Structure 1
Amino acid sequence: MSGPGLNQSFQQRQTQQLMLAPQMRQSLKILQVAALDLRATIQEELQANPTLEEMPMDDVSLEKTTPNNDEGAAPDDDPRAEMDFGKDFQMLEKIGQDWRDHMSDTGGVRQSSSEEEERRQHFYDSLTTETSLQQHLMQQAELADCPPGVLEALRYLVGSLDDRGYLTATLADIALLSTLPLDTVQAASKLLKSFDPPGIGAENLGDCLLTQLQHQGRGKSVAARIVRDHFDLLVRRRIPDLSRKMGLSPEIIQEAVEIIGTLDPAPGRRFADDSNRVVVADVSVEKENGEWQVFLNQDYIPRLRLSSTYKDLIAKGKLSKQEGDYLREKLRSGKFIINAIEQRQRTIERITREIIKHQHEFFEEGVSKLKPLTMTQIADIIGVHETTVSRALANKYIKTPHGVFEMKFFFTSGYQSQAGEAVANTSVKEMIADIIAAEDPGAPRSDQEIVGLLDEKGLKIARRTVAKYREELGLLPSNLRRRYD
């Protein structure tokens, strides 16, 4: 019996909930990652899906790689066989916006009290710098019982590691550089490979994987044999070829490949990262025969296809229902990934072509001719959501005759000149930088004087805006720029 003041009631409520399928999560990830990271993303798919194969460069044909062909991935009447990626991306962006709105409406972000701020600051002040890879290895070296010469060689070896933990020089070169005997350097290399993390000090990816397998006591396993003797087939995920060459069943090969997939291809990266990163352009724009041409960077994108071996297994009808359903689902998933990669490249190309149309004067003359452009404008033209354009531009770079730029660089607000010409704020910044560069060092121009010079060019800009842009350019105010002879 319920107590006084307590009421119980039953209510029926109907709600709608959007579920984000794993495939759609993956397609968004493929759209957003940079060129260098895309290969790692695709390799993850190759490890997880046995029906996907990487084609060698000399085996590329339109017949095998066209994403719109059936490839036996799914029946024509299967609603999951083909998907509208543009609409799917818009749906996902809507989910994200709804979540942000919900957090805002329900107080997801709130002001912290002074006491909470003090505790947070104490936490930040208590943080220590992460141990670098070199420090971690040399701590182990100091504890190792080894001769002084080997310890000295270890210092050279550790100093020759890249951020992945691989050696950037041969042992012979290190011996020559250090003036240490080669056998001492070789002994140091063997000791380094016994350190944590496993795989450190390898000369290449195959050596790294093999070292990790040896650490696990799998030095004579099928996985080790694959890495040691058939590495080229492994990286292309050629399960049938590996099965034939090694005389083992596809199931055993698949199990070994899955073991290899659990290894760390870059053991050094779990430590403090270097803030300097290599920038690789996703797309290049070059002028040929008087016309601007778009060239997508395909160097880091493996060419994939669906395995005919598994399609043939389904076609023969000798599999159990469970096996058949599993392979059909993997084939559908593989086809989705192939389509998502193609969609990514097409989206980047279409956006780049629109950038060229809107920023034609930039490509002809340089940054000073950059015009205002919004992602909404591009989204309306190519028929996708604005946030889809934003995702497609994230972490992407474009190579132009004037240098390599982030693709988002071309999207900026701006001003209208008295002549009716649109001028991007990036171009205004360059004008301010040019004015200051040309000034008399003994009598530098004040922000108000710069306002007057811009007005003469037909641009009416407030003094505080000039000051803001000058500060963003890292330029001092006039009283601090003055030089005395």
Structure 2
Amino acid sequence: MALSPRLDIRQGQGLVITPQLQQAIKLLQLSNIELEAFVEAELEKNPLLQRDDSEREVERDGEPERAVENLGMESVTDASANREMDAPGDDVSPGERATGDGEGFGAEHAGGQIDWSRAGGGGGFEGDDNFEGALNRPETLAEHLNGQLVLAGLSPADEAIAAILIDAVDAAGYLRADLLEIAQRLGCELERVEGVLKVVQGFEPCGVAARDVRECLELQLRDANRYDPAIAALLDNLDLLARRDLVALRRICGVDDEDLREMIAEVRGLTPRPGAAFHSDPPQTLVPDVHVREGLGGMWHVELNTDTLPRVLVDQRYHARVSKGARSDQEKTFVSDSFASANWLVKSLDQRAKTILKVASEIVRQQDGFLAYGVEHLRPLNLKTVADAIGMHESTVSRVTSNKYVATPRGVFELKFFFTSAIQSSEGGEAHSAASVRHKIKGLVDAERSEADVHSDDRIVEILKAAGVDIARRTVAKYREAMRIPSSVERRRLIKEAC
């Protein structure tokens, strides 16, 4: 067969992410501190960008253009909507904005709005090294503890309490929070917070989440099954050990010299800073991106924290002056590119603010029960539910909720805090949280008393479906293994040996 060149025309569809859209996507997922640094860099390299330090509105005709026209954007969400258990799909608006309806999120770029969903699943783009950096960066203590929290099998409410406790653990591994204050803020009993703390203190590294050095050492000794009254007395008198008052220690502990030496050696072999082995990010001041406050009539007011919004504008006068003075093609191209880049940054910042407000408003609408009544009323919520309610892509919601914080009457939380996994009901009712399903599985296993009572994974699926939980066998097996529950065959063997 002869080979010869030829020209073919083919038509196809493909996703093309422009550099401008890449920049808009990057802005959306930045924290307020990272955004400030990014804008500072743009101000340095673009002569047509100018910081807007004024608080007054400026006429656009012949004057610099304001970067964000809606700096006081606020959304009002009806807090009573979900308390009355509105059915999914009801035409309930996430709230009317005082400065606009927020339409146009799916509009074309030519209309001045950014279609964030064009980014699809969140593929990378040039200049974005976050993914590679995340792979190479050592694991932090908080990440290590949160990874164990996923497998702890706690109820949704207890898991939320545990997340707050983990967030209060410092780089050394100590809990720096008052349990009573946390209980009052979350609307639950102090005993419940203390019970969840015991679960967190069972995580690795041993001794983590202790409130002082004595408790840290006690946790490690209990884990090694070496905690007894004598060593407890030693821990109660660490000041004497620091002064090397061995006579007093021997008398208080009721031991001889040899036992005291062994006890002291054992204590000195413990780790007073259990979190020291983990990577520690430099501490940063936590500034919320959104404020939520309760208004009259059961309405929640959601507003942006304008202090975190960089205010930049396009210097129209300077642009007009340098455009007239540009002589070479290179100068004209530079001025044109700088003007386009400045305009796009202004629009991107404005759209970012609107998008954060829209997502936060819907989250507040979904989780108003938590804000009103406490942690027991956290609802199962995922990215898709929020995305469908506001007409955005899931990847957009994911970017918005990363590294963004909301200040509520119950404290400051990351937006991702309000998302809890769920398993659909087999009867079409309200979904079940994954944590509650794990709790049901553990309860079934704990109730087994004889070989005949042992449930196989298939039998557990049948029991759960009869209770209205639509779950697959592999999911049951996954939850069982995560809770370190042996298989039905192994459990029968253990019961037989115990008898």
Name the TM tier (shorter chain): 0.3 to 0.5
Task: Give the TM-score taking structure 2 as reference length.
Answer: 0.45
Higher relative contact order (CA 8 A, sep 6+): 2
Task: Give the TM-score taking structure 1 as reference length.
Answer: 0.46
